[in-house]
Amino acid sequence: MFQTEVLPRLQALGGGRRVVRKTFSIAGMTESEVDARVAPIYKTYDRVQTTILAGTSHISLHLSRWLDPGEEPSDLIELASRIQEALGSAIFTTENEPIEAVVGQMLRQAGSSLAVAESCTSGMVGAYLTRIPGSSSYFSGGVLCYSNKAKTDLCRVPEETLERHGAVSGETAEALARGVRQVLGSAIGLSVTGIAGPDGGSAEKPLGLVFVGLSDDNRDLHIRRILPGDRDAVRERAAFFALACLRRFLMPESAAGKP
């Protein structure tokens, strides 16, 4: 009914004008980094409106353009193509999908499988991944390794690693990722360990410090990041960051670059 009855009337009211839009979802860059990169480009397109929105976890860049009757959005298409080139693989979708849908699709296409070990996020990564119907075809499960006992007994982290480097360290993150994929027989292991606050920070390991670990048969690695915000925000950002790192890990190496 909207298509056949409402839309024509609205179009007539608008004098036949219509709007076209394009949205980019961006991971691993701040709002000001995105703006510094794309402002020199979009400022030369004065009929396209460009808006940058910063959410808790990621940045969205919105283009919109009003078209007169019969007009084509060729400037918007050109600007979108230049933005795509400028931001490259930092764009995780132009379809407004959540990142768990993007990595889910990559895992499915690769015929791969994933297990997670979550300390500071304690279930948020697993909860996001399984929002996608059919995620059981690539998601094996995981461990909420909140206590050290969960890290050693369920994720096979050597006690020596915990003693020498601490629960929040790159070494522990890698051991968690390796251990959880082994115990669950998955191709890939993903881990998150960090200090969400409000207590537990120190000069050496401040609040917001997060390590993401990744492991498969070919490599073990970790990524360190200090995330801003209160306990809820750090956890939310850490869960998203873990999924963004997983996306990089799943990309062909030539396309990946900086997480």
- What does the binding site for a copy of itself look like in residue numbers (CB under 8 A)? 116, 118, 121-127, 129-131, 133-136, 139-147, 149-150, 153-154, 183-185, 197-199, 231-232, 235
3-state secondary structure of 4: helix
Cβ nearer to a copy of itself, comparing 118 with 216: 118
CB of 117 or CB of 214, closer to a copy of itself: 117
Write out the two tokens for 183. 């115990």
Q: Which is nearer to a copy of itself, 66 or 146 (CB)?
A: 146
Tell me whether residue 78 or residue 232 sits nearer to a copy of itself (CB atom): 232
- Distance from C-alpha of 99 to C-alpha of 45, rounded to nearest angstrom: 29
User: Burial level of 194, CB count in 10 A (0-12/13-18/19+)?
Assistant: buried
The least distance separating a copy of itself from the CB of residue 189, rounded to whole angstroms, comes to 13
Tokens representing 219 are: 């490599």
Considering the complex, what minimum distance in angstroms separates the CB of residue 226 from a copy of itself?
19
Q: How far is the CB of 243 from a copy of itself (least distance, A)?
A: 13
CB of 217 to a copy of itself, least distance (A): 18
Q: Which is nearer to a copy of itself, 76 or 129 (CB)?
A: 129
Sign of torsion over alpha carbons 224, 126, 29, 84 = positive
What the block records as the tokens of 232 is 């809820």
Minimum CB–partner distance for residue 93 and a copy of itself (Å): 19
For residue 47, which amino acid is it?
R
CA dist 64 and 34 (Å) reads 18
